[in-house]
Amino acid sequence: MRSALLRPLLGFLAAALLLALAGVGVLYVVWTRDLPSIGDVDLLALGGETRVYDRKNRLIGVLTPSLSSGALASGELLELGEISQPLRKAVVSSEDRRFNSHRGLDMVGIGRGLLKGLFLGDLEGGSSITQQLVKNTLLGDMNSERTLERKFKEAVLAYRVEKNFSKNQILAAYLNVVYWGKTQRRSIVGIDQAAHAYFGKSAAELNLAESAYLAVLIPAPNSRYQKFEEFRPLTRILLDRMVEDGTVTQAQADQAWRTPIYPAGWRIGWNADGTVRSARLENPARLEENLPAQAPQVAFHYLQAVERELVAQLGRKEAYASAKIVTGLDLDAQRAAEQAAREAELPEGATLGMAFVDPQTGEVTAMVGQQLDAGRPADWDNATQSRRQVGSSVKPFVYTLALSQGWQQSDTVLDAPLQGEYQPKNYDGRWLGYPVTLRYALDHSLNLPTVRLAQEVGVGELEGKLTELGFQVQPDLGLSLSIGTLEASPLQLASAYAAFANGGLYRPASFVRQVVDEHGKVIYQRPEVPAVRVWDERTAYLGLDMLKGVVNDLSEAQGGLATRARIEGWPVGGKTGTTNDIRDLWFAGVAPGVAGAVWVGREDNQPLPAWAYSGTVPTPIWQRAARGQLAGRKPGDFPVPQGITFATVRRVEMAFLSEKLQTPGAPAGRSSAPSPTAPAATVPAPPPRSSQPSRPPAPTSAPADPPEVPVAAPQTPMTQPPVAQPSEPQPTVPQDSAAPTPEASPDPSQIPPLPQEPAQQLPQEQLPQEQVPLPDLRGVQDEAARAWEETQRAAEQGLRDTLERGSDQAADELQRALDQAREQLQQLPQTAPQSSP
């Protein structure tokens, strides 16, 4: 009877065992297919041997191994004999008591970890020293994951490491990479740095009391350092465990307990029995002071990026075993960028990130990941690792997309609030109430016309274009995408802007050109990646022309946002960007052979002070870095494609597609490619089209010359429905639809005038020879007189209303506007052409 009951049970257990073994086999096949080579553990012996060169074969530095924590193994790599015996024994007893007896896996520890996972839902715990070494060196990309897959891979790799390395090699490697906390600027990695940081001595000089303290820190070094008294009992527990393990005697343990220790920064009072009488953390900066001084490393964050790219292509073993790495960096450009970072005047608590690329190749020519000073920069790289909202620096992509769809710079878009739930605002909360040209809207970084334009070109089209330009567009951003909710790094933005400078081609950023081994054999050559055409050549130039307008159309007194990007003798184009609450400041720009972006902000994402503007903080940094890159080069201009013609519209010279300039009666222009034997022809400017709030918009002609300085918005502008006047309260922006803030000029209280740059005149010998019939101006003059009377009545009525409200300041502004309008009327007969007799 009993055997009859046992048979099914045994059969069930056998079947379950077979299924478990089959499951393990499947997991082994699936999870071990892409495991790294265990030979990568040897990388610690190779650190510092791989030399890195720039594009002109000038030495930059050596490649330093980075660990899974993101820190660098930048201390002295010690042999086991250079580390004190007490420290070795204390770490083994603390982290892996059965280290010398197991084969990579501590089954007792694993069992304890599984129980912890089953009952507490936490898969941490139970890792041997070998597994921790694997986690820190071979599975860095999975270090933050607490999954069964990671534990399984750790176990497999630990077993392989144990088969190929001795216990002494494994322990030495572990002690060289273990994380022991951080200072304000640096991570403390490896026993060499830990001994100096905490006790100001070498690893060979550590006594048992100091060794036990350092071993106790390993599981949570930052918090345990901050709470000396709270974690002091753990030292006693560890010393008792070492006695149990037979590594020290009871007398040695007791003596170590009574030995006073003074970790850097702490003032501690001791009792004779080893207990703490008082403890106060007075100066945690001592940790930084105790670390050996390091000379500033040129291209510090660039070398980190080189390592990441190489490891992805070759693996860590080959990356560090190579003898020479040739990169796309330009050492002169890098030094100029670093000098600009050192001289940067940033708000308190802010840092920066900047990246420059070669527009023709996509290679990163210079990169700085932090504001620099005389010391070693922080490990975090804001140029490549940060993703921050870009603000108005995304707007050139919106306008260029419109140009690619047939819009022109002289076309107009209404500057007035939108209809519907989404209610973005211009920076100063005001609007003009009539259409403005695309050129004017971008020059002044107006939000309302930009969002209206995005409605016309299509949010889906914009998302697709930004994806082509290498951005990862977050879903469901809607119209806010057009004014800056896109998140990107400075390097991503620099690569996207490069398409304006190279004729419309996007090339992914790259760092490494070539890798050569110690025998001179090329083991890696960067493959040719086909460029993606995101704009046709002429559209790219039209977008570039608008970027040049942002920098050059207005003076700083006129409200120019990027005037500080100008470089004498060189054409420069670019765009500023600011986000909500002034959390991020941007400038991205191009010059011939240069494309780059600079971000300024706080890494904790706190707002910057109200005085910080994108035109005055990141823009001068970009200018200094770009000017340094261009130093020594022969000044040149961007090549103008065939089929581009220039015309002066509203006193601003703009680029147009030649076939668009067909309407008579417009200002004279010049062709980008005139015949070498014939004078340039007089080319009329294109008729503007206007975007109205109704959908779909029918292209209509805008007024020939809207007022340069608006006195008051017309009551019924053109054929549009009435809109709110600038003097009325602005619509409230819903909390869930707040838009990034465009940047403002240093004096946002003034309504900015249209660009006032004088029109460029053709030389006398290039004027057309044939007689051009001029129109009869009597109707024009009558219309101007009527417009003056209407403007005068409106201004006087507004002045009376304002005086009644008691606003003297507003009255003065209206009076000045009235005087300016009268002066313009007086100039009309002198500036208007006279008809032929």
Q: Between 670 and 89, where is the model more confident?
A: 89
What pLDDT sits at residue 501? 97
pLDDT at 672 over 80: no
CA quadruple 250, 252, 254, 259: dihedral, nearest 10: -170
Helices 208-217 and 250-258: crossing angle in degrees, nearest 10, is 80
What number is the average pLDDT over the span 612-630?
A: 96
Q: What is the CATH code for 75-290?
A: 1.10.3810.10
Under a CB-based contact definition with an 8 Å cutoff, are residues 47 and 168 in contact?
no
Q: Which of 165-179, 464-478, 673-687 has the lowest mean pLDDT?
A: 673-687
Which residues is 590 bridged to in the sheet? 573, 595
pTM metric for this prediction: 0.64
pLDDT at 699 over 50: no
Six-digit token pair at 559?
């409200």
pLDDT category of residue 180 using cuts at 50, 70 and 90:
very high
Out of 609-623, 713-727, 765-779, 798-812, give the one with best mean pLDDT. Answer: 609-623
Which residues is 412 bridged to in the sheet? 437, 690
pLDDT category of residue 311 using cuts at 50, 70 and 90:
confident
What pLDDT sits at residue 768? 35
The whole-angstrom separation of Cα 544 and Cα 783 is 37
Q: At residue 149, what is the residue type?
A: E
The chain-wide mean pLDDT, for the chain, equals 78
pLDDT category of residue 378 using cuts at 50, 70 and 90:
confident
Which residues is 594 bridged to in the sheet? 591
Six-digit token pair at 361?
């190749």
What pLDDT sits at residue 303? 92
pLDDT category of residue 38 using cuts at 50, 70 and 90:
low
DSSP, residue by residue, 38-94: GGGGGHHHHTT--EEE-TTS-EEEE---B-TTS-B--S----GGGS-HHHHHHHHHH
Q: Collapse the DSSP code of 276 into the 3-class scheme (helix H, G, I; strand E, B; otherwise coil) and give the result.
A: strand
Q: Which of 50-59, 356-365, 594-603 has the lowest mean pLDDT?
A: 50-59
pLDDT at 744 over 80: no
What pLDDT sits at residue 209? 96
DSSP, residue by residue, 362-405: -BEEEEE-S---SSPPPS--TTTT--EE-GGGGHHHHHHHHHHT
Q: Give CA 229 to chain center in angstroms.
A: 42
Six-digit token pair at 378?
């922080």
What pLDDT sits at residue 494? 98
pLDDT at 780 over 60: no
Q: Which of 8-17, 259-268, 540-549 has the lowest mean pLDDT?
A: 8-17
pLDDT at 19 over 70: no
Q: How far is CA 509 from CA 417, 492, 493, 667, in A?
A: 39, 8, 10, 42
pLDDT at 491 over 90: yes
579-603 pLDDT tens trace: 999 999 999 999 999 999 999 999 9
- Number of other residues whose CB lies within 10 A of the CB of residue 423: 18
114-142 pLDDT tens trace: 555 555 544 444 688 888 888 877 655 44
Q: Which residues contact 179 (CB under 8 A, 6 or more apart)?
A: 67, 69, 71, 136, 187, 188, 189, 218, 221
pLDDT at 778 over 60: no
The whole-angstrom separation of Cα 241 and Cα 252 is 12
What number is the average pLDDT over the span 87-111?
A: 82
Q: At residue 98, what is the residue type?
A: R
Six-digit token pair at 371?
């504001």
Which residues is 648 bridged to in the sheet? 653
The whole-angstrom separation of Cα 780 and Cα 676 is 38
pLDDT at 2 over 80: no
pLDDT category of residue 225 using cuts at 50, 70 and 90:
very high
Q: Which of 31-40, 183-192, 389-398 has the lowest mean pLDDT?
A: 31-40
The whole-angstrom separation of Cα 566 and Cα 549 is 11
Residue % of the chain over a pLDDT of 70: 67
What pLDDT sits at residue 819? 66
pLDDT at 754 over 50: no
What pLDDT sits at residue 834? 33
pLDDT at 253 over 80: yes
Q: Which of 31-40, 77-86, 281-290, 681-690 has the lowest mean pLDDT?
A: 681-690
pLDDT at 631 over 70: yes
Nearest to 545 by CA among 645, 614, 627, 621: 645
pLDDT at 523 over 70: yes
Q: Is 324 exposed, middle or buried (0-12, 13-18, 19+ CB in 10 A)?
A: middle
The whole-angstrom separation of Cα 610 and Cα 226 is 35
End-to-end Cα separation, the chain, in angstroms? 131
Six-digit token pair at 517?
């081994």
What number is the average pLDDT over the span 794-812?
A: 58
pLDDT at 70 over 90: no
What pLDDT sits at residue 69? 46
Give the helix, strand, coil percentages of the chain, each rounded to 5: 45, 15, 45
The whole-angstrom separation of Cα 23 and Cα 168 is 35
The whole-angstrom separation of Cα 520 and Cα 761 is 61
What pLDDT sits at residue 739? 43
Q: Which of 572-581, 766-775, 782-791 has the lowest mean pLDDT?
A: 766-775
